[in-house]
Structure 1
Amino acid sequence: MAETTPLWYRRMTSRTSDERHRAATPLELFFDLCFVVAVAQAGSKLHHALSENHVGHGVLSYLAVFFAIWWAWMNFTWFASAYDTDDGVYRITTLVQIAGALIVAAGVPRAFDSADYGVVTFGYVLMRLAMIFQWLRAAHGDPEHRPVALRYALGVFLVQLGWVARLALPEKVFLPAFAFLVVCELAVPAWAERRNPTAWHPHHIAERYGLFTLIVLGESVLAATLAIQTALDSGQAGAGLFSLAGAGLVIVFSMWWIYFDKPAHALLTSQGTALRWGYGHYLVLASAAGVGAGLAVSVDYDAHQAHISGTVAGFATAVPVAVFLVSVWFLMVCPHLRGPVAAAMPVTACLVLATPFTGAPVHVIAGLLVVLVAVLVVDSRRTRLLA
């Protein structure tokens, strides 16, 4: 177990997967908070792109930038679960990754406004090079997992060469090149962990993902709040703005309730299920942040500051909410539940996608999620009584 006061350099050995009282460290929490700066930038630019009716470009740019943020965060999280030595070198290397995340955040406006991904790529590669150094430390200090660590270091290095080379390609091949490199990134852990996998901690991983989801949901509340403040300051806000704000809060509160309704650590029983669970959180986190952008778009529409129809404004919230429901259902509900209660979530997601045609999509979505939460609460109570 890592000591409270770190030495400057400690041999990096594997931590055990059944370590007692394993909790997120202050450095990990600081890491999350700094990464959310980049999430906030991406959500803000998505909000403005949707309000200006640049839907296709805004969504594609958001998904690309969010991948860089999420993938760097996820790789550090799983590595730290297995190899957090908390010595001076480890801390400095982690701070370098945080600096890379802030560079990514600084490059988000260029990526959205002019499709210039140079700054984002530089920040991303800096984060990934720091991870290569961490894996090389693990290879040196943990002979049992040395092949795994070296495969990680090699795989990450080769993909970073690809990201740098992609900057020299013409814009017309951006999407194919990006998709190819994403597949390569996703393949590295599956390849590296195929034999004698690293000893990540299920409770620690579940806590880390839960904490980051909390922060992202909080960022969604902040994004909607800032949009409401802007509308109030402009003097163009209508009487319905406050009810819209209330409905938005109900949506985010319900998303929190739904995500944390069932414990997650019990789902992480094998390397395959862990990879599926970890990868699937791209949709969970991207949609959670996207809800904040969607609510901000609805505020813009209500204040007559958006250049889109009411239907499009409704979809800006409905689509990320539906994606959130389906992804949480697939990752965290299906393994626990079967039958009508398990079907309630995808059914609600389908109903949410129909709300833009109701004339009050945010309010109807809020009502649907309240009903869904009530169904989950009743089912949980029934399960406890039968246990």
Structure 2
Amino acid sequence: MARLLRKREHPRQASALELFFDLSFILGLALLSRRLFHELTWGNTLETLILFAGVYWIWIATAWATDWYNPNDPIIKGLVLGIMFVGLVMVAAIPGAFGAHGFIFAGAYVLVHFGRGAVLLTLLRGHPLQHRSLLILIWFAVSGVTWLVGAFRPETERVVLWLVALAIDYGIAWLGWPTPGLGRVPDENLRNVGEHLSERYQQVFIIALGEVILINGLAYAGAGITALRTLAFGLAFLNVVLLWRGYMIPGDLRIGGILDQSRPRLAVSVALCHATVIGGTLLTAVGNEVLITNPLGAPQGAWVMLIVGGAALFLIGRVMYHVSVFHRLPWPGLAGLAILGLLSPVLLLLQPLSISLVTNFALFGAVVVDIYLIGRAVREGRIATSSGDTPLTMGRDDKR
């Protein structure tokens, strides 16, 4: 059993198997964006984000599994490949998940989590870590009932039940899977290899940005290359650059050391932050596609929802990240959110090109100011680093 566990001396970089597994996430993002683009309504946006949260939880649970267990062990390799196949079936059901394919989506989701838990529970028989697998499996069984019941209910009830199921999955993980009569998972059993998990988070975000570039490039090529669409494509590209740089403000200052040294629950908080950031990136991909294909279209609330909503979700995720990791409220991000919120009523009257200009302006301000303030904090010693670029601590009195 000991050979199944990841040891500290094992390589901390992501394995080829993990990178291969990420390919299934690419398909999921592509189908989610197609689903949203073909029905630009508030209801469909909520449904798409619910499906995204389910797909992301498959990814993060697998990332934790390969962080806790040795990804080079043949049994773990087989488990990850099995999860990948069932996950592909699940994402293939995304277009009809709130219709005829609800059971396929929910059934595959439950099978992944319950199957992984059952396999690990069996493999760890007699090992102290079996208790961790048992508690996690119990709670996935609880949420699984809600997922499966929702799959057989009408669309509105399905939305509610699947939201409840997601609240169970995400919320109970953050609490450490507390179970009546069995306690919760001890902190020492939730520790991560910080460098590995930090790299995995960055990889999945880069994948999300790659999906944005792919969708926007195909839209630009397919809609016909004109001067106006080239301008729109330039704004979309600037938007992607700002998302990348906005993420890499804390991303360049890697959190591997922080995850190694901090309370284990931080890994769950960072996972939730990334869910928000990547959800915003998903909305941005579709919003930029609208911008490129119809830059001067008649004003629509759905376009504001996508273009502004994507940037807003991204900034919210960054704010959550800074609060969780650095224990501070980043006022540039909050200012960017305030600008977008205050201008939203006006943006409802504008065309996609103008909406994108305002959104990029807010993002640009938040990113540039944050870069300056982080650089100043490093120079003044309020961010301690190792190897020149890896922060280990940030003072709680950092007021930037």
CA deviations over 1:262-317 (Å, ceiling 9, x no partner): 2233443112322222223221111112210111122233275xxx6345423311
Asked whether the 8 Å contact 1:43–1:289 carries over to 2, the reply is yes
Q: 1:33 aligns with which of 23, 26, 44?
A: 23
Distance 1:145 1:358 in 2: 56
Distance 2:79 2:211 in 1: 26
Could you say what secondary structure the match of 1:15 adopts? coil
Distance 1:29 1:164 in 2: 30
Q: 2:249 aligns with which of 247, 261, 282?
A: 261
Distance 1:218 1:28 in 2: 17
Asked whether the 8 Å contact 1:128–1:156 carries over to 2, the reply is yes
Distance 1:358 1:176, change over 3 A: closer
Are residue 240 (structure 1) and residue 231 (structure 2) matched?
no
The equivalent of 1:345 in structure 2 is: 333
**Equivalent AA in structure 2 for residue 332 of structure 1:** H
Asked whether the 8 Å contact 1:76–1:131 carries over to 2, the reply is no
| CA shift for structure 1 position 335 | 4.2
Distance 1:19 1:329, change over 3 A: farther
Q: 2:97 aligns with which of 107, 111, 115?
A: 111
| CA shift for structure 1 position 123 | 2.6
The equivalent of 1:274 in structure 2 is: 267
Q: Provide structure 1 residue ranges, at least 5 long, that are not aligned to the other structure.
A: 1-9
The equivalent of 2:312 in structure 1 is: 322
The equivalent of 2:68 in structure 1 is: 82
The equivalent of 1:371 in structure 2 is: 365
CA deviations over 1:80-107 (Å, ceiling 9, x no partner): 1011242222212211111122112211
The equivalent of 2:193 in structure 1 is: 201
| CA shift for structure 1 position 242 | 0.8
Q: 1:24 aligns with which of 5, 8, 14?
A: 14
Asked whether the 8 Å contact 1:280–1:331 carries over to 2, the reply is yes
Asked whether the 8 Å contact 1:156–1:188 carries over to 2, the reply is no
1:1-387 aligned within 5 A: 12-16=3-7, 18-19=8-9, 21-50=11-40, 55-111=41-97, 114=99, 116-137=101-122, 139-140=124-125, 143-189=127-173, 190-191=176-177, 194-195=185-186, 196-232=188-224, 239-262=227-250, 263-268=254-259, 269-302=262-295, 309-332=299-322, 335-336=325-326, 342-353=330-341, 354=343, 356=347, 357=349, 359=351, 360-387=354-381
**Equivalent AA in structure 2 for residue 367 of structure 1:** F
Distance 1:362 1:85, change over 3 A: closer
Could you say what secondary structure the match of 1:102 adopts? helix
Matched positions, count: 362
Distance 1:246 1:330 in 2: 29
Distance 2:158 2:331 in 1: 38
Asked whether the 8 Å contact 2:4–2:73 carries over to 1, the reply is no
Asked whether the 8 Å contact 2:54–2:166 carries over to 1, the reply is no
Q: Provide structure 2 residue ranges, at least 5 long, that are not aligned to the other structure.
A: 179-183, 382-400
Asked whether the 8 Å contact 1:12–1:85 carries over to 2, the reply is no
The equivalent of 1:4 in structure 2 is: none
Could you say what secondary structure the match of 1:211 adopts? helix
**Which structure is richer in relative contact order (CA contacts within 8 A, separation 6 or more)?**
1
Distance 1:149 1:256, change over 3 A: same
**Equivalent AA in structure 1 for residue 185 of structure 2:** R
**Equivalent AA in structure 1 for residue 308 of structure 2:** A
TM-score by length of 2: 0.82
| CA shift for structure 1 position 110 | 1.3
Could you say what secondary structure the match of 2:124 adopts? helix
**Equivalent AA in structure 2 for residue 321 of structure 1:** A
Distance 1:137 1:86 in 2: 19
Asked whether the 8 Å contact 1:132–1:157 carries over to 2, the reply is no
Distance 1:139 1:334, change over 3 A: closer
Could you say what secondary structure the match of 1:22 adopts? coil
